[in-house]
């Protein structure tokens, strides 16, 4: 049998031991909780990280200071964007594409009054001028008094383009016609059916002539000199073209150097939108044969006006946006590398 005193003593010691164990367990739990809070997620309510986080504007977390910084950055980048856009606009207008509007009816119905056309200035650096092309050219020194404009170097062309962009300079007497004969072609009118012939091959012009217009009421017979073009309007009743300048130097032809570019599309009004292709009659293989011999003629307008700067400016800003974004990315990366290096 156990001694009653031992039993009592044992019972007296057990509560004390239990209290000690509970205190130790509680202390250990407090330490675990403290560690968990220190290592836990930063967004826990009441955590030090949450308390230290700056007050934002909702879920975006954007601070007023951040918004002000981005606003300042936008205004800082805007002049760069505008400068790049203007530079690209001048380059595009001078060397690539320019818009013109049609103020007269001598190219009807292919081109109507107030049509806007885009002119490709690059194409004739890649290929020769073709029969059937609709070309925009400078009439100064061609049919009008004066000297034929001389194309300067790239810097002079850029300076001229920059000046004309802002309404300075002299654009010249800009005209628009269809090319009928290229250098070496024998162009004549008319055959027994009243058609214009090129190298003895009659042209079927009904697809582009003004309805009811005859190919020509004036007769002519000329071999196009080297470096020159014979051009005519599509509305032959009301077109002042090569036929009306046969008494001028060149026999009515214009110099190829006066050509600004090829009109290739009508862009305005929307109802008139269409490509300006070369008519099928100019694709006859016989036209490329050796020109037929013919006696030289004894050696008389649709105009095209620049259609403002909208097209080059739109294209300039379109190209400036990615370029501005790119230079900003490059500048940001360079700044980060410098900070890391320091």
Contacts of 134 (CB under 8 A, 6+ apart): 107, 110, 111, 176, 177, 178, 179, 262, 263, 276
pLDDT digits (tens, 9 = 90+) for 199-208: 999 999 999 9
| Rounded alpha-carbon distances, angstroms, from residue 304 to 5, 69, 156 | 126, 49, 23
Q: How many CB atoms lie within 10 A of CB 96?
A: 15
Measured distance CA(97)–CA(95) in Å, rounded: 7
In this prediction, residue 22 carries a pLDDT of 52
The total number of residues written for the chain in this structure? 342
**pLDDT tens sequence across 22-39:** 555 565 555 655 554 444
Task: For the beta carbon of residue 97, count every other beta carbon within 10 angstroms.
Answer: 17
Measured on CA atoms in the order 182, 177, 218, 255, is the torsion positive or negative? negative
Averaged pLDDT score across all residues of the chain = 76
Catalytic residue chosen out of the listed positions 93, 121, 177, 216: 177
C-alpha neighbours within 13 Å on the C-beta side of residue 50: 11
**pLDDT > 70? residue 168:** no
Q: Which of 93, 104, 106, 242 is catalytic?
A: 106
Q: Which residues pair with 254 in a beta bridge?
A: 229
Task: Give CATH for domain 102-308.
Answer: 2.10.109.10
Q: Is the pLDDT confidence value at 12 over 50?
A: no
Q: Is 177 a catalytic residue?
A: yes
Residue 313 has pLDDT above 90, yes or no: no
Delimiting residues of CATH 2.10.109.10 domain(s) in the chain: 102-308
| Number of other CB atoms surrounding residue 140 within 10 Å | 19
Residue 94 — very low, low, confident or very high, per pLDDT cuts 50/70/90? Answer: confident
pLDDT at 248 over 60: yes
**Could you tell me the pTM of the whole model?**
0.66
- Give the rounded percent of residues in the chain with a pLDDT score beyond 90: 43
Mean pLDDT to the nearest integer, 38-56: 45
Picking from 141, 169, 155, 106, the residue whose alpha carbon sits closest to that of residue 253 is: 141
Residue 160 near residue 171 (C-beta atoms within 8 A) = no
CA-nearest of 95, 92, 163 to 314 is 92
Structure tokens at 179: 């090319």
- Rounded to whole angstroms, the Cα distance separating 211 from 165 reads 38
pLDDT tens-digit map of 50-93: 444 444 444 445 566 556 656 557 677 778 888 888 888 888 88
């Amino acid at each position: 049998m156990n001694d009653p005193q031992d039993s009592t003593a044992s019972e007296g010691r057990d509560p004390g031991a239990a209290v000690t164990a509970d205190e130790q367990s509680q202390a250990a739990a407090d330490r675990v909780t403290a560690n968990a809070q220190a290592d836990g997620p930063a967004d826990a309510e009441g955590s030090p990280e949450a308390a230290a986080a700056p007050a934002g504007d909702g879920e975006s977390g954007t601070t007023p200071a951040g918004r002000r910084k981005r606003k300042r950055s936008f205004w800082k980048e805007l002049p760069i964007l505008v400068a790049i856009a203007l530079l690209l606009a001048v380059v595009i207008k001078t060397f690539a594409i320019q818009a013109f509007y049609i103020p007269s009816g001598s190219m009807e119905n292919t081109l109507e009054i107030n049509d806007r056309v885009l002119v490709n200035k690059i194409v004739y650096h890649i290929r020769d001028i073709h029969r059937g092309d609709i070309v925009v050219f400078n009439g100064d020194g061609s049919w009008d008094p004066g000297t034929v404009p001389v194309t300067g170097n790239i810097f002079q062309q850029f300076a001229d383009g920059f000046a004309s962009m802002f309404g300075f300079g002299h654009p010249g007497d800009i005209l628009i016609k269809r090319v009928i004969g290229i250098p070496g072609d024998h162009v004549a009118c008319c055959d027994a059916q009243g058609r214009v012939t090129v190298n003895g091959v009659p042209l079927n012009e009904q697809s582009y002539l003004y309805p009811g217009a005859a190919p020509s009421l004036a007769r002519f017979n000329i071999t196009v000199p080297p470096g020159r073009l014979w051009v005519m309007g599509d509305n032959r009743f009301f077109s002042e073209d090569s036929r009306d300048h046969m008494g001028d130097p060149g026999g009515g032809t214009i110099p190829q150097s006066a050509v600004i570019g090829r009109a290739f599309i009508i862009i305005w009004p929307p109802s008139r939108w269409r490509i300006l292709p070369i008519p099928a009659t100019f694709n006859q293989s016989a036209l490329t044969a050796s020109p037929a011999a013919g006696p030289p003629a004894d050696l008389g307008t649709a105009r095209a006006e620049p259609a403002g700067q909208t097209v080059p400016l739109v294209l300039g800003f379109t190209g400036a946006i990615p370029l501005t974004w790119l230079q900003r990315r490059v500048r940001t990366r360079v700044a980060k590398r410098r900070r890391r290096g320091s």
